[in-house]
Structure 1
Amino acid sequence: MTATLHTLENGVRVICDPMPGLETIALSIVAGRGAAYEDPARSGWSHLMEHMVFKGAGGRSARDIVEVIESQGGSINAATGYERTSFQVRALKGGLDLGMSVLADLILRPTLDPADLTREKQVVAQEIAEAADAPDDYVFDLVQAAAWGEHPLARPILGTVDSVNAATVEGLAAWRSALYAADRLVVSAAGAVELDEVLALARRAFGDLPAAPGAPAFVVPAFVGGRKGQVRKLEQAQLVFMLPGVSAREDDYFALRIFAEVLGGGMSSRLFQEAREKRGLAYNIDAYADTYADIGALGVYAGCAASDAAETAKVCADQIVGLAERIEDAELARAKAQLKAHMFMAREQPLSRAEQAAGQALMFDRLYAPAELAAAVDAVTPDDLRRLGRTILGPARSASAILGAKGALKAGETFARALG
């Protein structure tokens, strides 16, 4: 059986993906808005809103929301990203009705009590502090700020203490309407589900949801580049380097994914073999493709001794330049196999499957069959990777973020210089 995509009269999209033989269901309701749509005054409000709906909704208290799901063997969660916000329920077969009802309450009928808001601001402030205290997390906030200039992508999803504290119940209510409007909402169910039930429950829950005033106009980001660094007393220096890439909608999307895989996707990758196995510079080192609807980037992360930071940076740059010039046939074949394995293994989990389908609906307004994705991966050629290499290195712009001893901070300059 294959997943199907349907659109209700008001624009809400509904996905049903039956998985025969399963005794569980996954339901993900995804809004195609997130932190990338926030202006500076409302930075962090999408994440704060995600917190607030769990404080009470549809007549249920915070405890009731959790207990009513868990009493039926289920679990409930949510996540905020730059381009979307999702609410998820995992449950036993037959739990779709309850899951849909609870998630609809969270999205459409949150209580938004002022006293709860005061307390939740304190909780989020602690979350912001915790992120700042985790150098291997915070360094990624720094590189976002270096890469994307004044765009919302440069700001942390959590926002700042000041912007979160500025939120009011009335302001959040208006923001909720903008985030969760009908034309940007996807209801995605996978596992032990049937189309007729999914459509009926989605129509009952969201069929009357009207269009709403939009969030602030989205500005297409541009990769700016630059260097950020902070001196900290750490056992290891934390390094992240970023270069401009391509978006999820561009033809070279899978070329970027393969480039990242060959560069630093596993123990056979160039960075792992050169920086760790051959030189012993870093215990953790990897590469990743960071893609959005309109832009993307190639990133590299490494944790190393401060005294090795500059050499590690040069190794990273050298490996990127070398891969942009030439890839071995065996490397390309191995990367394709790894990428397809990642995609297909994720499809064995109902929640991953529901989330993946929702993302496709939001990004492309269609669903992709696994065979279609595999064919796109297999179609990537060495010429594609060389062309992508010119895209990555052509603008002569890079972003870097370094946390650690003062001597490590020169690694950003070393990386940029080694790119040529």
Structure 2
Amino acid sequence: MSAPSPKPELPAARLHRLANGVRVVCDPLPGLQTVALSVVAGRGARIEDEGRSGWSHLLEHMVFKGAGARSARDIVEAIEAEGGQINAATGYERTSFQVRALADGLELGSAVTADLVQRPRLEGDDLRREKQVVAQEIAEAADTPDDLIFELAQQAAFAGHPLGRPILGTTASIGRATPESLSAWRDALYAPEALVVSAAGAVDEDRLLGLAERDFGAMAPGAAAPASPPAAFAGGLRRIAKSLEQANLVILLPAVGASDPDYFALRLVAEILGGGMASRLFQEAREKRGLAYAIDAYAETYADVGVLGVFAGCAAADAAELARVIAAELQGMAQVRAPELARAKAQLKAAMFMSRESALARAEQAAAQVLLFGRPLGPQEIADQVDAVAPADLARLADRVFAPRCVAMAVLGPKAALPAAEAFQRALFG
């Protein structure tokens, strides 16, 4: 009996470009009754100077206060009346507006997001109130150890660069924004040449292109966006003594960006180090030594730079010993056993394919790929790149990570935990 023929891969999402530069991605998924629409600008907090820190996030808030002919309440009621949900997010390199709805809600979702991006009201009274809201968000982040520790590590890693500043900005920087200055910022941030309209799920390609032309095709060229300076990993220590039950540690090492040939080697190293319960850090630090309840490793990447990170929570008295254990596991990352690499590849591919079962995740991923690579990537294309990573690639990446002899580390918690920073550096670099 002959083996069944493999199923042909579904084509990657299809890319189109409107005359004014807006790109449109269509990813139809047979059998779905819902659609996800993401309108993504390939600009975010990274293009802000210090005086405008937080403006991209503040603007994302402000557009929901009224846009086009709709009030703030009209915006959400119109979407929810058709069974939909609307949301937005600001990152360092992208700003995204997202609508999830029943299939018939695509037309309304496109019209509403077009108003948000192109025709927000930006009125003075709304801005004063929203500054207060964002100020509370900033205060909340400072009061939340799980948020503050990552912010401190980011500051240390990219000191003096926009990537080292919080996306929320500061109360002083957002206080400088006026309706007029935010309007000018919107013109640069959401310019058509930086915009991707991406839809996945129960979507017809011709219908999507017609809506994109209707709602985004008349956008005039935007103002020139500030150039983002090249990012460089600075490194350094941030330590704050705080009365907490547990010490929090974040360690960052310089790594590669999302477009680097070693990107998937970085993702696999993070998986091997701390990507699950079978990972080295979990087994050594938690299962064998009982030093930490929470410990994991991760890769954070931007267009041109990235970090290999480790987060851990532990008793203050164990922080220094845990730091030394982490250093030892990092030093051993160039030597990977075949079963470890196979497990990491399986986990990474599984995570990728599982995320593709969400229409919204597919729409967001396709938009991000278009902004970074100029086209959407097929899942098998990505899986093949993961499978192609060899032990020699991990060794090469390890050399690149350790060559600068530089680390960014943040420690937050009882005073007894603070020496963990020096203990880690001595253990890693001698």
Task: Give the structure-1-normalised TM-score.
Answer: 0.99
Q: d(CA) in 2 for partners of 1:56 and 1:303? A: 42
Does structure 1 residue 347 correspond to structure 2 residue 356?
yes
Deviation of residue 414 (structure 1)?
1.3
Instruction: Look up the match of 1:396.
Output: 405
Selected match of 2:376 from 367, 375, 381: 367
Query: Partner amino acid for 2:188?
Result: A
| Unaligned runs of at least 5 residues, structure 1 | none
- Tell me, in whole angstroms, the C-alpha distance in 2 between the residues paired with 1:181 and 1:201: 18
What is the distance in 1 between the residues matched to 2:224 and 2:245? 46
Partner amino acid for 2:425? A
- Structure 2 distance, partners of 1:243, 1:352, is 28
* 1:191 to 2:173 alignment: no
Residue 376 (structure 1) aligns with: 385
Report the Cα distance in structure 1 between the residues aligned to 2:204 and 2:423, rounded to whole angstroms.
56
| 1:126 counterpart (114, 122, 136) | 136
* 1:43 equivalent in structure 2: 53
Cα distance between partner residues in 2 of 1:211 and 1:310: 54
Determine helix, strand or coil for the equivalent of 1:22.
coil
After superposition, what is the alpha-carbon deviation per residue over 1:98-120, rounded to whole angstroms, capped at 9, x for unaligned? 00000000010001010000000
2:222 corresponds in structure 1 to 212
Q: Measure, in 1, the Cα distance between the counterparts of 2:403 and 2:183.
A: 44
The 2-side partners of 1:312 and 1:50 are apart by: 40
- Structure 2 residue matching 1:282: 3-state secondary structure: coil
Q: Which amino acid aligns with 1:392?
A: V
Alpha-carbon displacement from aligned partner over 1:18-69 (angstroms, at most 9, x marks no partner): 0000000000000000111100000000000000001110111111100000
Distance in 1 between the 2:37 and 2:336 partners? 41
What is the CA–CA distance in structure 1 between the aligned matches of 2:225 and 2:421, rounded to whole Å?
Answer: 36
Cα separation, 1, equivalents of 2:60 and 2:67: 12
Partner Cα separation in structure 2 for residue 28 and residue 374 of structure 1: 24
> 2: distance between equivalents of 1:104 and 1:82?
22
- Which residue of structure 2 lines up, in the alignment, with residue 63 of structure 1? 73
Letter matched to residue 288 of structure 1: Y
Give 1:13's aligned residue.
23
- Determine whether 1:181 maps to 2:191: yes
1:329 matched residue in structure 2: 338
- Within a 5 Å distance, the mapping from 1:176-325 to structure 2 comes to 176-324=186-334
**Secondary structure in structure 2 of the residue aligned to 1:86:** strand
- Give distance in 1, aligned partners of 2:61 and 2:320: 41
Q: Distance in 2 between matches of 1:242 and 1:64?
A: 44
2:7 alignment partner in structure 1: none
Shift of 1:216: 1.6
Query: Match of 1:335, as an amino acid?
Result: A
Q: Distance in 2 between matches of 1:205 and 1:67?
A: 20
Corresponding letter in the other structure for 2:67:
A
The CA deviation at 1:213 is 1.7
Letter paired with 2:404: P
Task: Provide the rounded CA distance (Å) in 2 between the counterparts of 1:205 and 1:93.
Answer: 18
Q: What corresponds to 2:175 in structure 1?
A: 165
| TM-aligned CA deviation for residue 191 of structure 1 | 0.1
Give distance in 2, aligned partners of 1:18 and 1:415: 49
Aligned partner of 1:415 in structure 2 is: 424
Question: Given residue 15 of structure 1, which amino acid in structure 2 is its aligned partner?
Answer: V
Structure 1 position 415, deviation (Å): 1.3
The separation in 2 between residues aligned to 1:181 and 1:67, in whole angstroms, is 27
**Number of aligned positions between the proteins:** 419
TM-score (norm 2): 0.97
Among 129, 132, 146, the residue aligned to 1:136? 146
The one-letter amino acid of 2:123's match is D
Residue 76 of structure 1 and its aligned partner are, at CA, apart by: 0.2
Q: 2:120 aligns with which of 98, 101, 110?
A: 110
Amino acid at match of 2:245: E
The answer to whether the aligner puts 1:90 opposite 2:100 as a matched pair is: yes
1:178, CA displacement in angstroms?
Answer: 0.5
Aligned counterpart, 1:79: 89
Structure 2 residue 367 is matched with structure 1 residue 358: yes
Q: Structure 2: how far apart are the matches of 1:14 and 1:414? A: 51
Q: Quote the Cα distance in structure 2 between the aligned partners of 1:132 and 1:109.
A: 33
**Rounded Cα–Cα distance in structure 2 between residues aligned with 1:417 and 1:37:** 36
By how many angstroms is 1:215 displaced?
2.2
Q: What is the letter of the counterpart of residue 386 of structure 2? A: V
Aligned mates of 2:289, 2:44 — CA distance in 1: 41
Q: Distance in 2 between matches of 1:21 and 1:285?
A: 39
How far apart, CA to CA, are the structure 1 residues paired with 2:361 and 2:91? 15
AA at the equivalent of 1:199 = L
